[in-house]
Amino acid sequence: MSNSTKTILWIVLAVVVVLGAWWWFASQNNGPQNTASPTVQSNAGAPAAASAQNQTIVSTSTSDTSLDQDLANIDSQLGGLASDSAAVDDSLNQSTTAQ
């Protein structure tokens, strides 16, 4: 290989390493990039219980009552997720051709 080809390959390698390191550090420090609330992301077919419980699941105290409320909120959101997942599964399993 000529010197110019080796130089170009080293530059490309350096750029790839720098971009990879930058991506890794950015993903470690920023946390999740999706900032929309769960009710904004849910579709219109979501159950009313999941959209009615639009509360942040951050506990400000450690009392049993607040922990129970947090668990109830999580349970209702998981119920919405389960019904959304079931709706997606049903739509994927529907056959559009006559058999």
Of 38, 72, 70, the closest CA to residue 57 belongs to: 70
Rounded Cα distance between 31 and 80, Å, is 24
Confidence of residue 30 (pLDDT cuts 50, 70, 90): low
Quick one: pLDDT at residue 50? 45
Reported as a single tens digit per residue, the pLDDT across 58-78 is 545 667 888 888 899 999 899
Q: Name the residue type at position 86.
A: A
Instruction: Output the CA–CA distances (angstroms, integers) from residue 58 to 34, 50, 69, 91, 99, in the order listed.
Output: 17, 17, 11, 34, 51
pTM above 0.75, yes or no: no
Of 41, 76, 44, 39, the closest CA to residue 54 belongs to: 39
